[in-house]
Amino acid sequence: MATQTDAAAMTRFVNMAGHGLPLYIWEQIAQESGDQSAWEVGEQRARRENGAFSYRNTVITEADGEPVAALIGYPLPTDPDPARFDDLPAMYVALPQLEDMVPGTWYINVLATLDSERGKGLGQALLGVAEDLARDKGCCGLSLIVMDSNTGARRLYGRNGYEEVAQLPMIKENWVSDGKNWVLLKKDL
């Protein structure tokens, strides 16, 4: 499991897995506060004790003492609160809408490996860790959301038994991405 000292590495992995969307969000927060950089905003969030993006929900894989891959995940509620949509900006709404389609699953929020470490089985190993964590929490399955354009990740998930449940279009505002849709994948346990 990760510790608060892994916050800088976590922000890199989160941004990598999110194709720049996390940094886009942190930049907006940093502009509003005016006293932190976007990366500092991300690191502060990673050091939190609670919340989805917390070191407590993170597994870091190291090679030669350096972080090379990360998994961030947690159980989704079995009875999601619809009020959480009330003040949510339009570009974010599709993600929890998709999550609501797979209540009670263990949600893989982030699975990322450094480019230099890809093809070494780290993603596969972390998917196994995710399954173990899901079983330990009594979840009915696992779920994740990926961009339609992320074909490498979609192949990895498909080889590991994940199947498409639904797609919703992305609303990008000023965030630049080659994806057009968010794709919800699920694996039953």
CATH number where 45 lies:
3.40.630.30
User: What does the pLDDT average to over 6-26?
Assistant: 95
- Residue 133: count of CB within 10 angstroms of its CB: 19
Q: What is the pTM of this model?
A: 0.94
User: What does the pLDDT average to over 59-65?
Assistant: 96
Whether residue 34 has pLDDT greater than 90: no
Question: By the 8 A CB rule, do 108 and 130 touch?
Answer: yes
Residue in 103, 109, 97 with CA at minimum distance from that of residue 45: 109
Count of domains in the chain?
1
Domain membership of residue 169 as a residue range: 4-188
Residue in 101, 109, 120 with CA at minimum distance from that of residue 146: 109
Measured CA to CA in angstroms, residue 183 lies from 8, 86, 106, 149 at distances of: 28, 23, 16, 10
User: What does the pLDDT average to over 161-181?
Assistant: 96
Residue 93 has what pLDDT?
A: 92
